[in-house]
Each structure stands twice: as structure tokens, then as C-alpha cells.
Copies of this chain bind each other. A is one copy, B any other.
Amino acid sequence: MIGDLDEALATTRSIRRRLAFGEPVDRALIRACLEQAVQAPNGGNRQGWRFVVVDDQTVIGQFADYYRKASEAYFAADTGMDPQVREAAQLLARRMHEVPALVVGCLAGRLAPGASAREMSGFYGSIYPALWSFMLAASARRLGTSLTTAHLAYEREVADVLGIPYETTTQVAAVTVGHILGGGVGRGPRRPADEVLAWNRWRESAG
């Protein structure tokens, strides 16, 4: 049980190059993953989350138009991104209209300008565990996912496309969903835990 869980945590990665673009995903599979997602802890057990699952290709195409515009600007501005990640993300942007399904994670409310660090952290902490649970559950079902926030530069426009009430509901992220091409998924390149943890007192990282 520990081994299986650890394997799932270590091998659920952003699937972009190996996504089966254009191959539909059964709604029952997506629903099953969301059934796990809604068990996640969240602030005060308010469960202010809502999930708009998009699998209509016309709607995905409208989303993709905004996504591409937003991500072009984003890539132009961001110079610190890992080149491999950038390449995969650009591929996803180009082919976003062929993604089989999208889960747009939303949370009731909207942070006021000048929200405190506590308010921001509490807000996003009330939906990101659920979205990550969704991705883990998807991975166990051989579905590949990738979480992206680039389109939020056009959050109002995407809200209009999906009918989301912008003033009272915040879009937090979109998760792309599709079958995975090829065999197993290995671990991602990460710094070991010992380099990023400290006991009882901050220390500068080994580099």
C-alpha cells in the first residue's frame, strides 16, 4: 500500500508530449476521478469548489484560442523556465484545441485586491489538494493530465465562454485530460528532499 501510493505520487507528472490528442475520454472515467477529488480536505469543509468539465470540441476550441494568446505572452515574458518544460508547454498550447477534455477548477468567491497572505493561501489551499487528487486518480486510470493557469490572463473571456459567474466565482486552474500514449511513466527530474528541507531552523539550500 505504501509502495503503490508512493509510486502514484512519484509518477503522476504533467503529460503533454505523450497525450493522445483527439482521442475522446469516457465521461465515466472523469466523473470517477472527480469523486475522489471532492474528498480532499479544504478550509472549514466549505467545499466551495465547482468543476466545469469541457469535452465539447467547439468549446475547447474557444478555450484554446484564449489559451494560445495568453501562453504566447507568458512564454515571451518568462525567461527562467526549464527549456524542456517550455518546449512541452508550447506543444500543449499549439495543440490545445485537440485536447480531449479539460477540467476547469473553480472556487466560490473572489479575493479582494490587497488580500493578505493568509487569505490567499487559505483560498488556494481549499482547491489545489482536490485538483491534485483528481490528477492522481486520473493517473491510476491511465489518463494523463497537466495543470495550467496561463489562460487566467483571459479569465473574464473564458468565464463568458463557459457561463461561469466571474464576479462570484474564481477560476483557479485548468487541467487537461487525455489517454497516455506509450508505456509507463517514470519519475520527473527533481532535487532530492534533503536539499530542500531543514530541521527546526532555515538554512540556505545546498544550491
Q: List chain A positions with a Cβ less than 8 A from chain B.
A: 1-2, 4-6, 8-14, 27, 31, 34-41, 43-47, 49-56, 59, 70, 78, 80-82, 84-86, 111, 113-114, 116-118, 120-122, 124-125, 128-129, 131-133, 135-137, 140-141, 146-147, 149-150, 152-153, 155, 162-165, 169-173, 187-194, 196-203, 205
Contacts and interface: CB of A to CB of B under 8 A. Distances in A.
A86 B43 CA distance: 10
B118 A200 contact: no
Given A45-B84, A50-B197, A129-B147, 8 more contacts: A4-B5, A44-B81, A111-B120, A121-B172, A124-B124, A124-B125, A128-B128, A128-B129
Given A49-B196, A147-B125, A5 B137 contact: yes
Nearest to A164: B202
How many copies of this kind of chain does the complex include? 2
Given A45-B188, A85-B44, A128 B124 contact: yes
Contacts of A114: 113-114
B193 A31 contact: yes
A113 B111 CA distance: 12
